[in-house]
Chains A and B, each alone.
Chain A
Amino acid sequence: MIKIVIDNKPVEAQEGQTILKAAQQAGIPIPHLCYHPAFPPEGSCRICLVEIEGLPKLELACSTVVREAMKISTQTPRVRESRRGVLEFLLADHPLDCPICDKAGDCNLQDYFQEYGAFESAFKEAKERREKKIKIGNNLILDRERCVLCTRCVRFLTDTTKTQELGVFRRGIRSEISTYDAELVNNNYSGNLVDLCPVGAITDAQFRFKTRTWFLVPAESICPLCSQGCNIYLDYHPGFPRVSGTAKIYRIRPRLNPDVNDHWICDYGRGGYLSLLSDRWDKLVWRKGDRESVLIWEKALQILAEKIRTLHVIKRTAKIALILSSWLTNEELFLIKKIFKDDLHVEKIFFADPKPGTGDGFLLQPERAPNVRGAKEIGFALNSARLEDLSQHTDILIIFGPFLAELFSTAELKTVFDSVGTKVLITSRASGLESLVDFVLPASGMAEKSGTLTNKNGKIQSFSAVCPSCGDSRPEWSVLVDLAKELKVNARYYSLLANPGAIFRELAKEIAFFRKEPLWIS
């Protein structure tokens, strides 16, 4: 450890750390534009210049390594004037776009101007005009007037994805970020460029003009699209009062986790999550022949519990089949194990998950489900559902999730389902299966419930509900607890499981794997 002083405050820094990092850890912010923790220092924006005692010129905080007894000042008049100078230059070459720029509210230039500038412009000359709406990728728009040439985008594509779609052409004030003609940015991490850009130069085409960042509440969550378990923010608009339909999740951003996904998420997850929000199924439906009735939850669970209890009493639970999904949380899978395997001795348990895809060698995993490892550790064999499994002497079939529709066609399933007694579908998304079953119990979407997931490396990560469950939907864990209570087999046990936290504690008691790390669960 190295002892330094920043703004007269003693700070402990690590050997080899830069001033910027040491200051950040000590809670002292130093403005920076070209610096990004994922890359080696660039030193070109010059806004991080600080004063070091004994040195004649101001030095870069982003690249200067700390030395024992170094005395650094980040707030002297000289430093403040330097920052103001850099800001003044940047703004002299920057369009007054804030009213129409999606980055407003989230913009480093705005924040730094507010904090370190707030001056009248002295620029009386003609501003540089540049192209403002260049498509550089599937979902990416480049505005060259707003670009501050921090080159984070170029460096990301050179160092991280190694695909090199962007470069800097020309020189001096004419320098510009560009693709190579029509060879646009085309890789599974292109969305990160929007997050990387410190200003509104690279923006998301889908997000363009949709809302304002200050309406959005960033909620922590986990991406469920594959087994990597990347940490994310869901930017959620709580909605305007008295205007229905305005509450929604507008975008997904990465959340830093050095153990899982670093600073990045892939486009498959980023766009995939937003697709989860469409095709929501949120109605509780009971189909009897051609008639569809509306039920309330208590009634539906009563009917289902009755049917199950009947089989249990005559020791015929072999006629119950479950189709689970690795999208279910640890808590939900644990409940299913307790209720169906342990209490009811159900044997026919199968899995229907999205078809595996190709891993991309970085974050995206072939398993397109978030809790495959969790399911394994809880004791499931993850046998993939086959048509013959579904037809053989099944009185009650309970299907979790919409993915059965990805494995088999409606026609195939219809044939098989005809010989099944009662079919129950517990799902958050429409898939076509709804017309084939007797009961459709609407489940909460991933953003509407809480729980934990186990990623492919065994890391257990928790996520919390961001928005209320829509329509009639309820989290699967809640449905299972109430069903269990209704079943009256071991009801007292289940009545204590009031929330995912309580369920996880029981899970950890029973299965050693889940005792690994302390977790906070809401």
Chain B
Amino acid sequence: MEDKVLTRNFGLENLYKVDVYLQQGGYQALKKALKEMTPGQVTEEVKNASLRGRGGAGFPAGMKWSFVPQKVDQPKLLCVNADEGEPGTFKDRYILSHNPHLLIEGIVITAFAVGIHTAYIYIRGEYEAVAQRLEAAIAEAYQKSFLGKNILERGFELDLFVHRGAGAYICGEETALLESLEGKRGHPRLKPPFPASVGLFQCPTVINNVETLANVPFIIGKGARWFMDHGLPRDGGTRIFGVSGPVVRPGIYELAVGTSLREIIFSHAGGLKPGKKLKAVIPGGMSAPILRADEIDIKMDYESLAAAGSMLGSAAVIVIDEETPIVDVLLKVAKFYSHESCGQCTPCRIGTSWIYKIIRRLAAGGGERGDVDELVRLASNIKGKTLCPMGDAAAMPIISLAQKFRTELESSLKNQ
């Protein structure tokens, strides 16, 4: 059963216009927060709702907000991560284009909770049409006093700007996003210090994913308890799962956290297209280690997937059919990470390129004995050793593909 909370009225025409959004009950949660709650209470509610980040890392949002020091000389800032670069992921695009006001409302409530008066939405450069719609919605929100000075006459002030990226997956990593927002190359920063203390323009900064913030109005409007009931005890709410690949109905499906992967693929997405059989599934965006066809009876939540050696990530399900050689999947994975490596740190810069070269040789029929082991070895030299998590993202899929499909890969090697 789909559990349409966030996406319940996505089919509605012109939902992105503020009047329609208001008709649907929009901005009520913001009114409640500003008129009936203190900032501290808002944060508590979000903490109690167990809202985990929906960008990929899954860090509890309320806890992240409370890392920002209360009393500080510098202004506090909010960055919304709308970079959506993880291959297989498209859910934020839906929120941004169908219901931008939901996001805006979530942003204002969040800013109120933390004491932020300037927020930036970092949106990937390719989402041009989406950015235009977002800018129009922001203009409407200013007009209606949901943004700007003295929001809803409650004395709270927030400015919101859209900042477009320009084609770099790494800018989805929070510190690379900050660098890019500051007008520089998207080079991730060393942590510590963490953005909550030293972030955008060296100010304490909160960075949250689009879907994460889009949940905030529901938490405040209907309460933490209600939110938790839609999910799991330590992982409240619904998730928007994206399904793509050779399935009957690719698209977004808003379901409870912990829904089974089999159900997502065969029930909601209608199973594989006629004539196609399931070979493997990537459960959480390309960076998530792959699952074989016999491993899809698994609950789609952080703990269950982690226990199976994979991850929930961006909840982007990529379905792979039996006609697809695994070496082709490897090729796409390796090419992507070597293209997107920012180049700062040694293991990622050189390792991803080396791995890509080996796989290209493999795909062209030049594979030799030991190549599959070599892929695992090199990827293991990247994993855990890099400046930012993209190293792990580059390494883990290679390792899982090489290990789980070793027989298929080695059957094509020479001098066996």
Contacts and interface: CB of A to CB of B under 8 A. Distances in A.
Given A46-B387, A57-B384, A88-B381, A172 B341 contact: yes
Contact of A125 (B346, B351, B354, B384): B354
Interface size class of A (residues with CB under 8 A): 35 or more
13 contacts: A42-B190, A44-B344, A44-B387, A58-B384, A82-B385, A85-B347, A85-B385, A90-B350, A126-B357, A149-B346, A171-B185, A172-B338, A173-B341
A47 B354 contact: no
Given A46-B346, A173-B343, A175-B343, A89 B354 contact: yes
Interface string A36-75: 0000011111110100000001101001000000000000
A173 B381 contact: no
B349 A43 contact: no
Chain A CB count within 10 A is highest, among B340, B343, B346, B386, for B346
A175 B347 contact: no
A512 interface: no
A396 B350 CA distance: 73
B358 interface: yes
Contacts of B387: 43-44, 46
Interface string B331-359: 00000001111111111011111100110
B338 A89 contact: no
A143 to B, nearest CB: 17
A171 B386 contact: no
A128 B352 CA distance: 13
Chain A CB count within 10 A is highest, among B190, B347, B350, for B350
A63 B190 CA distance: 9
A123 interface: yes
A171 B386 CA distance: 16
A92 interface: yes
Given A46-B347, A46-B386, A172-B349, A92 B342 contact: no
Nearest to B168: A171
A89 B344 contact: no
B153 interface: no
A411 to B, nearest CB: 61
A174 interface: yes
A148 interface: yes
Contact of B353 (A45, A86, A173): A173
B347 A89 contact: yes
A173 B347 contact: no
B303 interface: no
A173 B374 CA distance: 20
Interface of B: 168, 185, 190, 338-347, 349-354, 357-358, 361, 368, 374, 381, 384-387
A44 B345 CA distance: 4
Nearest to A63: B190
Contacts of B168: 171
Nearest to B353: A173
B183 to A, nearest CB: 14
A174 B343 CA distance: 8
A148 B353 CA distance: 15
Given A42-B190, A149-B349, A171-B168, 15 more contacts: A44-B344, A44-B346, A46-B386, A82-B381, A90-B346, A90-B350, A92-B354, A93-B350, A124-B368, A126-B357, A172-B342, A172-B353, A173-B338, A173-B350, A173-B352
B366 to A, nearest CB: 10
Nearest to B384: A57
A498 interface: no
Nearest to A150: B346
A90 B338 CA distance: 16
A60 B185 CA distance: 23
A171 B347 contact: no
A148 B346 contact: yes
Contact of A172 (B340, B346, B381, B386): B340
A172 B385 CA distance: 16
Chain B CB count within 10 A is highest, among A43, A49, A63, for A43
Given A125-B357, A172-B353, A58 B385 contact: yes
A313 interface: no
Contact of B352 (A49, A86, A149, A172): A172
Interface in A88-123: 88-90, 92-93, 122-123
A52 to B, nearest CB: 14
Contacts of A171: 168, 185, 341-343
B365 to A, nearest CB: 15
A46 B361 contact: no
A387 interface: no
A54 to B, nearest CB: 16
Chain A CB count within 10 A is highest, among B340, B341, B354, for B354
Contacts of B343: 149, 168, 170-175
B346 A89 contact: yes
A89 B343 CA distance: 13
A43 B354 contact: no
A49 B338 contact: no
Chain B CB count within 10 A is highest, among A43, A172, A175, for A172
B185 A168 contact: yes
B42 to A, nearest CB: 34
Interface in A413-441: none
A149 B345 CA distance: 8
Given A172-B338, A172-B340, A125 B358 contact: yes
Contacts of A172: 338-343, 349, 352-353
A85 B377 CA distance: 10
A89 B391 CA distance: 14
Given A86-B385, A122-B374, A172-B338, A45 B350 contact: no
Contact of A46 (B340, B357, B368, B385): B385
A201 to B, nearest CB: 14
Contacts of B368: 124
Interface in A158-174: 168, 170-174
Contacts of A175: 343, 349
